[in-house]
Amino acid sequence: MTTLIKLEIVRALRNKKFLFFSVIYPAALYLLIAGGADDKPLPGMQLNMPLYYMVSMAAFGAMTAVLLGNSERIAKERESGWVRQLRLTALPGRGYVAAKIASAAVVSLPSILLVMIVAAAVKGVRLDAWQWIAIAVGTWLGSFVFAALGVAIGYLATGDAVRPISMLLFFALAFLGGLWMPMTLLPQWVQNISEWLPTHAYAALGAAVEVGTAPHVKDMAILAGYLLIFAGGAAWLYRKDTRKA
Amino acid sequence: MIMDMTTTATTTAVAGHRAGPAPVVSFQQVSKSYGAVRAVDDLNLELHPGETVALLGPNGAGKSSTLDLLLGLRTPDSGTLTLFGTTPQQAIAQGKVGAMLQSGGLMDGVKVRELVRLASDLHPRGYPVDQILATAGITEIGDRLIGKLSGGQEQRVRFALATAGANDLIVLDEPTTGMDVSARQTFWGTMREQVQQGRTVLFATHYLEEADEIADRVIVLHRGRVLADGTAAEIKARAGARRVTFDLDEPIDRTALHGLPFLTALEISGHTVRIQSQNADATVHALYGLGLYPHNLEVSGLGLEQAFIALTTASDATPATAEEAAR
């Protein structure tokens, strides 16, 4: 199982184009949105734009790399028959899912770090050491939830359907979770829904740290719950999959 | 007799109560349908240790479905299926089975050697990577990326994955597709070594000469059932596998020729008559009995290919059961 994890990581690092864009674009998007912003707090929030978007874009970038990358690659591997071949080995279902999450995590970590570096260097964001570390680690661990979701989508959909489905889910989650614009700017009913979405809990982790408190237990519980559902679902779909593929 | 038209269900041993070596594979009344299509229909089949078995059948005969069931990639609708006395999933987890799928894709973006190392590490009794590469004859392409291989090389890599550990059963679905003649010979040479180590080998193939040369048992599948089961020679004999060719001078009386005993096929072109017969001696005797004088008379054996075609078309012409006719 560790061999597969290592191999998936080597392979992710070898895919230079995917790696480059996944790492570069969240930081670029951050500069585009928050680049001209001032230090005034956002309406209804303690955070200003550079701070808020640092967490949002780190989360958004990590989510892009793991969710879109995983779902598409897995659908492709199912079509090529590699998953069938893998099922003829002693590898347990959780091994495949773990390897996919690990390879996604390798791509998401540098993209998270780059957003933070750009925020500090260009927008002069200043935080305590523990806050930097907590945000980086929290955002990175949180991305596993979306990696697992990516695996599950890769199993639910086939061929041409994968991209539209994962895109739709991805944008809906990102928007409703407040990754693109602060939640306080959205109507109340959207806020009510978003409170229970993994993306909202995900961004809230970092936001809480930026304010100077520990992440809320509720947000962590929501993320843990989603991780369990997505990873469990992915492992179950992996085992059942080849009945139809 | 092995070549009974119905399958050999009567000899099926009950697990745990048998004397001889346990069957490697056992299908007991296994069925599998996809929608309205019955891919595997009440299949009974047993493989024994050390056998080299060829699975033959036209497209859609149920070969791949049978192998999928055997490997636990699909679950049967009904019936019992065991591998080494346990479920396919367990037998695979124990590293008893190596398989090379027709549709088996390979992981891209990695090197041949890396993929082989993965297969070796995942196997409970994996062989050293260099040994696997050498056995499959891919040592020199070990550093190449999977995406840059030719079709034949890919097949060899699949073979390497199937033989990465000490398996007791090797399952191959059309293994030599995409290989040229010499690669095919090398492949079967390697396969023979595997057989000599006491392994059971089951392979599906389109190339009948492969079944003829390599297998010591040939199973003909048709519409998800076992149509014939025996040695290649037995299958040929069973199919009325004699061809009689001769020339006739006088205007040919087709009706009289049709009345010849043991005749299974008749073809007349110009003066030349080609006959297939279940019993060439009797057919030729009767031919002289008609008062005819054949020139250039030749009696020859049918290849497995013609035997195979004869078997399956005969089965198509006469629906075996009322159930089948009603379909």
- B116: closest chain A residue by CA: A3
Which parts of B54-180 fold into alpha helices (H)? Answer: 63-70, 88-93, 112-122, 129-136, 151-162
Residues of chain A with Cβ-Cβ distance to B116 below 8 Å are none
What DSSP string describes B9-67? GGGPPPTTS-SSPPPSEEEEEEEEEETTEEEEEEEEEEE-TT-EEEEE--TTSSHHHHH
Is A88–B71 a contact, with Cβ atoms under 8 angstroms apart?
Answer: yes
CB-nearest to A84 from B104, B115, B122 is B104
Could you report the per-residue pLDDT of B289-327, keeping only the tens digit for each? 888 888 899 888 776 667 777 777 766 665 444 344 344
What are the distances in angstroms from CA A241 to CA A203, A238, B75, B76?
A: 33, 5, 11, 15
How far apart are the C-alpha atoms of A102 and A94, rounded to whole Å? 12
pLDDT of residue B5: 42
Q: What is the mean pLDDT of residues B188-193?
A: 86
Is A242–B109 a contact, with Cβ atoms under 8 angstroms apart?
Answer: no
Q: What is the mean pLDDT of residues B45-68?
A: 89
The residue of A85, A91, A240 whose CB has the most chain B CBs within 10 angstroms, and thus the best one to mutate to test that interface, is: A85
pLDDT of residue A241: 63
Is A7–B118 a contact, with Cβ atoms under 8 angstroms apart?
Answer: yes
Confidence of residue B200 (pLDDT cuts 50, 70, 90): very high
Assess whether pLDDT exceeds 50 at residue B164. yes
Continuous segment of H or E residues that includes residue A205: helix A198-211
Is A80–B123 a contact, with Cβ atoms under 8 angstroms apart?
Answer: no
Among the listed residues A135, A137, A101, the one whose alpha carbon sits nearest the alpha carbon of residue A207: A135
B43 φ/ψ angles, rounded to the nearest 5 degrees:
-80, 130
Fill in the DSSP letter of residue B143.
Answer: T
Is B101–A91 a contact, with Cβ atoms under 8 angstroms apart?
Answer: no
What are the distances in angstroms from CA B46 to CA B12, B69, B214?
A: 8, 14, 19
Do the beta carbons of residue B130 and residue B117 sit within 8 Å?
no
Assess whether pLDDT exceeds 60 at residue B198. yes
Residues of B engaging A, defined by a Cβ cutoff of 8 Å: 68, 71-75, 92-95, 97-99, 101, 103-110, 114-115, 117-119, 121-124, 158, 161
Q: What is the mean pLDDT of residues B38-54?
A: 92
Confidence of residue B20 (pLDDT cuts 50, 70, 90): low
Residues of chain B with Cβ-Cβ distance to A77 below 8 Å are 105, 107
**Chain A closest CA to B62's CA: distance in Å?**
15
Could you report the per-residue pLDDT of A203-232, keeping only the tens digit for each? 888 888 888 888 888 999 999 999 999 988
What DSSP string describes B162-229? HTSB--SEEEEESTTTT--HHHHHHHHHHHHHHHHTT-EEEEE-S-HHHHHHH-SEEEEEETTEEEEE
Could you report the per-residue pLDDT of B250-296, keeping only the tens digit for each? 788 888 888 888 887 888 888 899 888 878 888 888 988 888 888 89
Confidence of residue B30 (pLDDT cuts 50, 70, 90): very high
pLDDT of residue B2: 43
Is A85–B106 a contact, with Cβ atoms under 8 angstroms apart?
Answer: yes
Assess whether pLDDT exceeds 60 at residue B96. yes
Residues of chain A with Cβ-Cβ distance to B34 below 8 Å are none
How far apart are the C-alpha atoms of B230 and B280, rounded to whole Å? 22
**Which top CATH class is B242-301?**
alpha beta
**Chain A closest CA to B109's CA: distance in Å?**
6
pLDDT of residue A161: 85
Q: What is the mean pLDDT of residues B30-35?
A: 90
B9-236: which CATH topology? Rossmann fold (3.40.50)
Assess whether pLDDT exceeds 80 at residue B9. no
Q: What is the mean pLDDT of residues B45-58?
A: 90
Residues of chain B with Cβ-Cβ distance to A87 below 8 Å are 72-73, 92
Of A123-132, B39-48, B77-86, B117-126, least confident by mean pLDDT is A123-132
Q: Which residue has the higher pLDDT, B123 or B8?
A: B123
ipTM for this prediction = 0.80
- Model pTM score: 0.76
> What percent of chain B is predicted at pLDDT more than 90?
32
Could you report the per-residue pLDDT of B137-155, keeping only the tens digit for each? 899 999 999 989 888 888 8
User: What are the domain boundaries of chain A?
Assistant: 2-241
Confidence of residue B3 (pLDDT cuts 50, 70, 90): very low
**Chain A closest CA to B290's CA: distance in Å?**
59
Is A242–B74 a contact, with Cβ atoms under 8 angstroms apart?
Answer: yes
Compute the radius of gyration of chain B from its Cα atoms.
23
Structure-token pair, residue B46: 């047993």
Could you report the per-residue pLDDT of A44-71, keeping only the tens digit for each? 777 888 888 898 889 888 888 888 888 8
pLDDT tens for the 245 residues of chain A, in order = 788 988 988 888 888 888 888 888 889 988 888 877 777 777 777 788 888 889 888 988 888 888 888 888 888 888 888 888 888 888 877 788 788 888 888 888 999 999 999 999 888 888 888 899 999 999 999 999 999 899 888 888 877 888 888 889 888 998 888 888 777 778 888 888 888 999 989 988 888 888 888 888 899 999 999 999 998 888 888 777 654 44
